[in-house]
Amino acid sequence: MIDDKMIGSLIESADKARENSYAPYSGYAVGAALLCDDDSVITGCNMENAAFGPGICAERCAVYKAVSEGKRHFKAIAVAGSPVGEPISQYASPCGVCRQVLREFTDPVNFYVIIAGPEGTYKLKTLEELLPESFGPENLES
């Protein structure tokens, strides 16, 4: 399980990461804070592109940063998303692609997704709840 203090701290980091969001096309800023097994926290934000396709979500930005730094084991991620320049006003749940990318490096039953909401509220889910019966690395083990 993950304690309340850690949840609050991850939400704060995710919200702070929103400030770096580059979202001139959607006007929607997302921040993520990924808690690694060694208790370090890696943040990410969404980054859009004039060609649209190359844009990336905040969650994958955080995972790719972490993996590129040699971290492959994660405990939780907090996600905060809302229109640019506004405080968190809605619950932004990770997209399907990000769920699958998180699946690659986590045990879905024990990995927590914290979806930040208005005024310090949040929803707490396991990855298994968000991506049930998923396909993962184990499927390719012979």
In contact, 17 and 32? CB cutoff 8 Å = yes
The catalytic position among 12, 19, 48, 59 is 59
Has 138 been annotated as catalytic?
A: no
Q: Nearer to ligand THU by C-beta: 5 or 88?
A: 88
Q: Give the binding site for ligand THU (CB under 6 A).
A: 23, 26, 28, 30, 46, 48, 55, 57-59, 94-95, 98
As a whole number of angstroms, the distance between CA 59 and CA 104 comes to: 13
Q: Looking at the DSSP assignment, which residues form a beta bridge with residue 47?
A: 22, 56
To ligand THU, the closest distance from the beta carbon of 132 in angstroms equals 18
To ligand THU, the closest distance from the beta carbon of 20 in angstroms equals 12
Q: Which residues are catalytic?
A: 59
